[in-house]
């Protein structure tokens, strides 16, 4: 059903118009829309579902990897490894339908996030100053990227950047944590004592991609910005580290890139979550790790090129050695 809705929305894309704070007051009575870093409200659009129409998850249950038999070997999972804590896997088959998981790992409050429309999967520390925030899905998009909100102040946050953009938290920044996406097979091999998020108690088509063939589309959903430079396709994946972007095609060809003081590596075995209807059968995109000169994992994101260009218009495209 959701794929049908998505297809219909794409078909009527030209009829969508941006909303304005005046039309959001009833839904967001506690949000201070005068305190914002958004230059024009034309940038903000409704993604279809209302506030919390895509339900974020809180304090999910986990099971040993031996108990998880539904996941395909090539399915992508967000890997979270902190110090001496058990490694945790958050399958994209669940985040596809929930987009945010509020969790605690070893006493650290984190938000594991995934925006399918820009392929951005990032994990944040939920602590800002002396507050611990919890996040929900606003139902709004900016540059086709999810706008999150925190339940404590009703402020809006840009998922792709971790920046507060509307309300009391405007100008604040969430700290991104060094997590990455593995295939389920690779996670099990690397962390045999790890745990994996259990299936949420919702009626959803887990394991299916509601955005069938999205990452081979010619244009992003609900995005009217310019195409990326250098002839890069809008929905080509890039590895973003700060304000630099390496094309995934380059990394896959070379296997390893050592540049700008960091090492990017690529290994075969991971399916795209945004290709075929069944996630486990998605085309090969591989797994990426990003480390510094000491071998420590670095915060990064694997996102679509159009989103990098939209949020980092002066960013550096790492096309060659």
Cβ-defined contacts of 25-34 (< 8 Å, 24+): 27/51, 28/154, 30/153, 30/154, 31/149, 31/154, 31/155, 31/156, 31/166, 31/167, 32/166, 32/167, 32/168, 33/166, 33/167
Tell me the three state secondary structure of residue 8: helix
What gap in Å lies between CA 317 and CA 145, rounded to an integer?
Answer: 20
Question: Does residue 22 carry a pLDDT above 90?
Answer: no
Beta bridge partners of 301: 240
Q: What is the pLDDT of residue 277?
A: 98
Residues 6+ apart with CB under 8 A from 234: 218, 219, 220, 223, 227, 228, 304, 305, 306
Residue spans per domain, the chain:
16-181, 207-317
Assign 70 a pLDDT band (cuts: 50, 70, 90).
Answer: confident
Assign 20 a pLDDT band (cuts: 50, 70, 90).
Answer: confident
**What is 169-202 written as a DSSP string?**
TTT-BPEEE--EEEEHHHHHHH-TT-EEEPPPSS
Closest listed residue to residue 200, CA positions, set 66, 82, 100, 276? 100
Beta bridge partners of 89: 79, 196
DSSP state of 280: G
Question: Does residue 8 carry a pLDDT above 90?
Answer: no
Question: Does residue 2 carry a pLDDT above 60?
Answer: no
Q: What is the pLDDT of residue 243?
A: 98
What gap in Å lies between CA 239 and CA 216, rounded to an integer?
Answer: 18
Q: What is the pLDDT of residue 19?
A: 62
Range 17-38 average pLDDT = 87
Summarised one tens digit per residue, pLDDT across range 107-147 is 999 999 999 999 999 999 999 999 999 999 999 999 999 99
Range 291-302 average pLDDT = 98
Q: What is the pLDDT of residue 204?
A: 97
- Chain centre distance of CA 15: 27
Q: What is the pLDDT of residue 91?
A: 98
Q: What is the pLDDT of residue 15?
A: 40
Summarised one tens digit per residue, pLDDT across range 146-192 is 999 999 999 999 999 999 999 999 999 999 999 999 999 999 999 99
Q: What is the pLDDT of residue 25?
A: 86
Tell me the three state secondary structure of residue 311: helix
Range 82-93 average pLDDT = 94
Closest listed residue to residue 261, CA positions, set 225, 302, 236, 293? 293
CB-based contact 55:99 (threshold 8 Å)? no
Percent of the chain with pLDDT over 70: 94
Tell me the three state secondary structure of residue 46: strand
Summarised one tens digit per residue, pLDDT across range 193-250 is 999 999 999 999 999 999 999 999 999 999 989 999 999 999 999 999 999 999 999 9
Q: What is the pLDDT of residue 5?
A: 44
What gap in Å lies between CA 139 and CA 123, rounded to an integer?
Answer: 19
Average pLDDT, the chain: 94
Question: Does residue 270 carry a pLDDT above 70?
Answer: yes
Phi, psi of 173 (to 5 degrees): -135, 135
What gap in Å lies between CA 316 and CA 43, rounded to an integer?
Answer: 23
Q: Residue 289 corresponds to which tokens in the numbers above?
A: 């790790």
Range 49-72 average pLDDT = 94
- Which pTM was predicted? 0.94
């Amino acid at each position: 059903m959701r794929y049908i809705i998505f297809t219909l929305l794409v078909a009527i894309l030209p009829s969508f118009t941006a909303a304005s704070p005046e039309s959001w007051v009833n839904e967001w009575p506690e949000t201070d829309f005068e305190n914002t870093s958004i230059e024009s409200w034309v940038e903000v659009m409704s993604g279809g579902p209302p506030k919390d129409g895509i339900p974020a998850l809180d304090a999910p249950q986990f099971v040993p990897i031996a108990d998880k038999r539904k996941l395909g070997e090539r399915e992508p999972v967000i890997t979270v490894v902190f110090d001496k804590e058990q490694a945790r896997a958050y399958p994209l088959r669940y985040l596809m339908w929930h987009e945010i998981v509020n969790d605690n790992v070893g006493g650290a409050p984190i938000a594991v996030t995934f925006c399918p429309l820009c392929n951005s999967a990032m994990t944040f520390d939920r602590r800002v100053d002396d507050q611990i925030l919890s996040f929900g899905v606003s139902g709004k998009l900016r540059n086709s990227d999810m706008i999150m909100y925190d339940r404590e102040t009703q402020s809006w946050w840009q998922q792709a950047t971790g920046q507060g953009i509307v309300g009391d938290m405007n100008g604040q920044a969430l700290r991104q944590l060094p997590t990455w996406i593995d295939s389920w097979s690779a996670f099990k091999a690397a962390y045999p004592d790890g745990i994996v998020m259990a299936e949420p108690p919702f009626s959803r088509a887990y394991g299916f991609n509601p955005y069938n063939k999205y990452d081979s589309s010619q244009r992003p959903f609900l995005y009217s910005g310019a195409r990326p430079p250098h002839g890069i396709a809008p929905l080509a994946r890039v590895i973003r580290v700060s304000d630099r972007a390496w094309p995934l095609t380059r990394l896959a060809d070379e296997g390893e890139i050592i540049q700008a003081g960091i090492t990017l590596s690529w290994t075969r075995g991971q399916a795209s979550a945004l290709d075929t209807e069944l996630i486990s059968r998605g085309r090969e995109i591989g797994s990426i790790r990003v480390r510094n000169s000491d071998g420590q994992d670095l915060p990064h994101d694997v996102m679509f090129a159009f989103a990098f260009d939209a949020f980092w218009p002066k960013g550096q495209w790492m096309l060659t050695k």
